[in-house]
Structure 1
Amino acid sequence: MSAWFLPLIVVGAFFLTGRLRRYALARSLMDVPNARSSHVAPTPRGGGVAIVLCFLGVQPLLVALGALNSAGAWAIGGAGALVALIGFLDDHGHIAARWRLLAHFGAAVWALVWLQPLGIVPAGVSGSLSGVLMVLAALYLVWMLNLYNFMDGIDGIASVEAICVCVGGALLYWLHGASAAALVPLSLGGAVLGFLVWNFPPAKIFMGDAGSGFLGIVLGILSFQAAAVSPSLFWSWTILLGVFVVDATYTLLRRLFRGERVYEAHRSHAYQQASRRAGRHLPVTLTVGALNLLWLLPVAVCVALGLLAGWVGVLVAYLPLVFLAVRLRAGAPERAAAP
Structure 2
Amino acid sequence: MVEAGGMLGLLAGAAVLAALLTGALRRYALAGGMLDVPNARSSHMLPTPRGGGVSVVLVYLAGLCLLFSQGLMADEVLIGLVGAGVLVALIGWVDDRQSVAARWRLAVHFLAAGWGLFWLGGLPPVVIYAVEFDLGWLGHGLALLYLVWLLNLYNFMDGIDGIAGVEAVTVALGGCLLAVMAGAGVEAWWPMLLLAAGVAGFLVWNWPPARIFMGDAGSGFIGLMLGLLSIQAAYQSFELLAGWLVLLAVFVTDATLTLIRRLLRGMPLAEAHRSHGYQYAARRLGSHRG
Q: C-alpha displacement at 1:65, in angstroms? A: 3.6
Shift in Å, 1:75: 1.1
Q: Is the 8 A contact 2:21 2:55 kept in 1?
A: yes
Q: 1:121 to 1:183 in 2, by over 3 A?
A: closer
Aligned to 1:89: 94
Counterpart mapping for 1:21-60 below 5 A: 21-60=26-65
Q: How does 1:273-292 map to 2 (within 5 A)?
A: 273-283=280-290
Q: Which amino acid aligns with 2:245?
A: T
Residue 164 of structure 1: aligned partner: 170
Report SS of the residue matched to 2:279.
helix
Which of 70, 77, 85 is the equivalent residue of 2:75?
Answer: 70
* Partner of residue 155 from structure 1, selected from 136, 146, 161: 161
Q: Which amino acid aligns with 2:192?
A: P
RCO higher in 1 or 2 (8 Å CA, sep ≥ 6)?
A: 2
- Partner-residue secondary structure (3-state), 2:8: coil
The one of 220, 235, 255 equivalent to 2:262 is 255
Is this contact kept in 2: 1:46–1:211, CA < 8 A? yes
> How much does 1:242 deviate?
0.8
Q: Deviations over 1:33-67 (max 9, x none)?
A: 00000000000000000000000011122223443
Letter in 1 for 2:116: A
Alignment partners' CA distance in 2, 1:65 and 1:174: 20
d(CA) in 2 for partners of 1:13, 1:60 = 16
Q: Distance in 2 between matches of 1:107 and 1:167?
A: 24
Give per-residue Cα distances to partners, 1:176-235, cap 9 Å, x unaligned. 222512211110000000000000000000000000000111100000010011110000
What does residue 193 of structure 1 align with?
Answer: 200
Greater displacement, 6-15 / 55-64: 55-64
Mapped contact 1:166–1:189 kept (Cα < 8 A): yes
CA shift at 1:141, angstroms? 0.4
Mapped to 2, the partners of 1:131 and 1:121 lie a distance apart of: 11
The residue type equivalent to 2:10 in the other structure is F
Give the drift of 1:68.
2.3
The whole-number CA distance in structure 2 between the counterparts of 1:99 and 1:8 is 36
The reply to whether residue 270 of structure 1 matches residue 280 of structure 2 is no
* CA RMSD of superposed structures (Å): 1.4
Q: Please state whether the residue corresponding to 1:282 is helix, strand or coil.
A: coil
For 1:62, the aligned partner's letter is: L
CA-CA distance at 1:125 after TM superposition: 6.8
SS at match of 2:41: coil
Q: Which runs of 5+ in 2 are unaligned?
A: 127-131
Alignment of 1:236 onto 2:243: yes
TM-superposition CA deviations, 1:281-334 (whole Å, max 9, x none): 001xxxxxxxxxxxxxxxxxxxxxxxxxxxxxxxxxxxxxxxxxxxxxxxxxxx
Q: Which amino acid aligns with 1:248?
A: A
Q: Out of 23, 26, 35, which is 1:18 matched to? A: 23
Distance 1:9 1:67 in 2: 16
Structure 1 unaligned residues grouped into runs of 5+:
284-339
> Which segment drifts farther, 235-244 or 169-178?
169-178
Alignment of 1:113-124 (within 5 A): 113-116=118-121, 120-122=123-125
Query: Which amino acid in 2 is paired with 1:222?
Result: L
Task: Work out the number of aligned pairs and report it.
Answer: 279
Q: Distance in 2 between matches of 1:280 and 1:269?
A: 15
Contact 1:67 1:182 in 2 (8 A): no
Partner Cα distance (2:78, 2:8) in 1: 18
Which residue number in structure 2 is paired with residue 301 of structure 1? none
Contact 2:176 2:192 (C-alpha < 8 Å) held by counterparts: yes
Q: How far 1:108 sits from its partner (Å)?
A: 1.1
* 1:132 CA drift (Å): 1.0
TM-score (norm 2): 0.93
1:204 aligns with 2:211: yes
